[in-house]
Structure formats: C-alpha cells, structure tokens
C-alpha cells in the first residue's frame, strides 16, 4: 500500500496535481453520486456513503465552500430536508479530476 502511495506521489510530480477538494474518500463518493442525479437529499447521501451525519455535514460544507455543491435547506412535509446538487463548477472539477486520474493510471 505504501509502495502504491509513493508511486502516486511520484506521479503527482510528473502530472497535474489532483484536486485536493475531491481527493478525499467521502467527498469523492458524494460527488460521484451527485454527478449522475439532479439533486440528492442528505439522508440518501448518508445511506449511500455509510458516513456519519457529522462527518457528511463537514464534507458537504467543504464542497459547498469550494463552490462544487449547492445546498438548499427546505421542508418535505413537516420534516426538514437538506438538498444537495452539483454546480457547473463542480461538474467541471469532477471531469477534470477523472481526466487527471486517467493520466495517472495510464502512465
């Protein structure tokens, strides 16, 4: 595993660095879900990623601060509902991230 990490580090010197906002397990999982849907609520994201509410909130805030995700707090009936959707900036960043990943894997 360490060998693999070292290879990744070495590659990062040769290629464009991977976006640090996306290069995190939970944030990447959230973005992978949001890329394919119009919007997803907090409960669905929590269920799909298996993350705790606290951790997911923190990571969503980071994505939101980077402008990759829009968060809308509303109500579904009487229950509060947090809706997340990917922004155009987030979509471009995700596409760029995948492109860079491909370069890392191919070389």
Please state, in angstroms and rounded to a whole number, the distance separating the CA atoms of residues 5 and 15: 15
- 36 binds other proteins per the rule CB under 8 A: yes
Q: Which residues pair with 59 in a beta bridge?
A: none
Please state, in angstroms and rounded to a whole number, the distance separating the CA atoms of residues 67 and 89: 7
Q: Please state the closest distance from residue 93 (CB atom) to other proteins, in A.
A: 13
Structure tokens at 36: 């394919």
Identify residues 55-94 at the interface with other proteins (CB under 8 A). 55, 58-59
63, 69 in Cβ contact below 8 A? yes
- 29 binds other proteins per the rule CB under 8 A: yes
The residue ranges that bind other proteins (CB under 8 A) are 1, 4-5, 8, 11, 18, 23-26, 28-29, 32-33, 35-41, 43-44, 48-52, 55, 58-59, 97-98, 101, 104-105
């Amino acid at each position: 595993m360490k060998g693999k990490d070292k290879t990744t580090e070495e590659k990062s010197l040769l290629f464009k660095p991977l976006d640090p906002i996306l290069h995190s397990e939970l944030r990447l999982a959230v973005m992978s879900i949001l890329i394919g849907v119009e919007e997803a609520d907090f409960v669905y994201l929590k269920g799909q990623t298996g993350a705790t509410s606290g951790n997911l909130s923190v990571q969503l805030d980071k994505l939101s601060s980077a402008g990759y995700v829009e968060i809308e707090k509303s109500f579904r009936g009487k229950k509060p509902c947090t809706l997340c959707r990917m922004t155009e900036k987030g979509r471009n960043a995700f596409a760029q991230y995948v492109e860079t990943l491909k370069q890392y894997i191919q070389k």
